[in-house]
Amino acid sequence: MPRWLPRAMVLALALVACFQLASWGFHQLINLLLNILIAFFLALAVEPAVDWMAHRGVRRGLATGLVFCGILIAAAGFFALLGSMLAGQIAKMVEEFPQYLDDVISWVNGTFHTHLSRLEVQNNLLKSDWLQKYVQDSANNVLAVSATVLGSLFNLLSVALFSFYFAADGPRLRRALCSVLPPSRQTEVLRAWEIAVAKTGGYLYSRGLMALISGVAHYVLLEILGVPYAPALGMWVGLVSQFIPTIGTYLAGALPILIAFTVDPWYALWVFGFVVIYQQFENYLLQPRITARTVDIHPAVAFGSVVAGTALMGAVGALIAIPATATLQAFLSAYVKRYEVTDDPRVHGRGRRRRGAAALARVRRTLHDRHPSTHPKDREAGADGGGDRSEDGGGSGGDGRSGGPDDR
C-alpha cells in the first residue's frame, strides 16, 4: 500500500464528515436564517425613516424604537377594529342562522320541488359522521395548533428583534463589514447596500399603491351591495392581500364574503366572483406594471422572480423576491459592458424594415437611371427587339412553308 493512501482516505472521510455536519447544521438553522433574512429586508424598509429622524438629532436607537412603536400601534389598532367588527358579525350570524337556513330550504323546495324541513336538516347535520369526526380531530389537534401558534409568535418576535438591531446599528454593521474588506471592495458593498435600501423602499411603495387600489375597488363593491363596515373591509382586503404572501388573498377575501353572507347569501357569491376576477387582473396586469415603474425591473422578470422565490423559500421567497431581484439587477448592471447598437432595420421592427426597404429601392432606381444599359427594362427591351427580328425573319420562312400545304 502506498504511504499516501491511508492519509488520503482519512482526509476524504474527514471531508465527508464535515460536509454532513454542515448540511445537518444548515437544515437545523434554516428557520433562523429565514428569520434573519426577513429581518434584514424589514430593516432596509424602515432605515430611511430612521435616517431621517437621526439626521434631526434623535438618537438612532430611539428613532428605531419610535418607528417600530408606530408600526405596532397601527397594526394593533387595525386588528382590534377588525376583531370587534368580526365578533359582532359572527354573533349576528349565529342568531340569524335559523332564518338563513329556512330561506335556503324554501328556495330548494321551490326550485327542485322537494319537501325538506329545517328540523330534519339540523338532525341529519348534527348526527352526521363527518361532523363528529371533524370535532374529534379538532380536539386531538388542539396541542399541535397551540404549538404552531406559539412557534409563529416566537418567529415574529425574533424577526422584530433582529430587524431592530439591524436598523439601529446600521452604520456600525456597515463599518464592521467594511473593516474586513479592501478599500476597492468597500465601495462596492456600500453601493450595494444603498441600492438595496432604494429598491426595498420602491417595493413597499408599489405594495402600498396596490393596497390602496385594491381597497378602493372592494370598498366600492361592498358599498354598492350595502354590506356593513365597507371602509374597514376595503382596508382589510387591501393590506392583507398585499403584505401577506401566498395566503393573503384568501384571508383577505374570506372576511368580506362572510359578512356579505349575513346580508344576503347571493351577495356573498357576488363578492367571491369579484375577488377572483380582481385577483387575476392584479396578478397579470396591475402588479407587473406598477412593479416595473417603482422597482425598475421588467414585468416578466418581476413575475418570474415571485414564482422562483415561492418555489425556493415559500411565502418568504414570495415576499422578498422582487426587492432582492431588483437589487441584484441594479448592482450587476455596473459590471455589464454595453455597446452601441448598429442602425440595422432588423433591430427596430417591421415598420422600420419597410421604410429601409423603400429607401433601398429608391437607391437602386437612381443607380439604374444613371446606367441604362444595366436597367432591367432596357434588357427586356433588347430581348424584345431580338425577338421581333427573329420573328420577322422567321415569318417569311413561315409564309413560304405555310404556302406549301395551301398549294398542295
CA distance 136 to 81: 33
Domain ranges of the chain: 29-111+155-180, 184-337
- Average pLDDT across each block of 10 residues of the chain; the chain has 408 residues. List them in order: 87 95 92 88 87 90 92 84 73 75 81 80 73 70 76 88 90 88 85 83 83 90 87 85 73 85 85 89 80 73 79 77 80 73 70 56 68 49 45 42 43
Which of 299, 305, 301, 281 lies closest to 213 in space, CA to CA?
Answer: 281
CA distance 238 to 82: 13
Per the structure block, which three cell numbers stand in for 49? 425613516
CA atoms within 13 A of residue 24's CA, in its CB half-sphere: 6
Q: In the chain, what is the straight-line distance between the N-terminal and C-terminal CA atoms, in Å?
A: 116
For residue 314, the one-letter residue type is G
For residue 58, the one-letter residue type is V
The pLDDT, as a whole number, for residue 19 is 96
Helix residue ranges per DSSP H, 169-226: 170-178, 183-225
Reduced to 3 states, what is the DSSP secondary structure of residue 244? coil
For residue 57, the one-letter residue type is G
pLDDT digits (tens, 9 = 90+) for 350-401: 554 455 556 666 667 776 666 555 444 444 444 444 444 444 444 444 444 4
The pLDDT, as a whole number, for residue 406 is 44
Angle at 255 between CA 251 and CA 258, to 5 degrees: 130
CA distance 46 to 195: 14
The pLDDT, as a whole number, for residue 96 is 75
CA distance 342 to 340: 6
325 and 312 Cβ atoms separated by less than 8 Å? no
The pLDDT, as a whole number, for residue 231 is 83
The pLDDT, as a whole number, for residue 372 is 55
Could you give phi then psi for residue 149, rounded to 5 degrees? -65, -45
The pLDDT, as a whole number, for residue 224 is 92
Q: What per-residue string of b and e applies to 242-269 under the rule 16 or more CB within 10 Å gives b? A: bebbeebbeebbebbbebbbbbeeebbe
The pLDDT, as a whole number, for residue 153 is 86
CA distance 215 to 252: 10
Per the structure block, which three cell numbers stand in for 65? 424604537
Give Cα separations from 88 to 95, 237, 258 (angstroms).
11, 19, 12
CA atoms within 13 A of residue 364's CA, in its CB half-sphere: 8
The pLDDT, as a whole number, for residue 408 is 36
Angle at 331 between CA 193 and CA 201, to 5 degrees: 50
Alpha-carbon dihedral of residues 223, 229, 234, 239, nearest 10 degrees? 180
The pLDDT, as a whole number, for residue 272 is 92
Give Cα separations from 227 to 87, 93, 270, 394 (angstroms).
16, 14, 12, 99
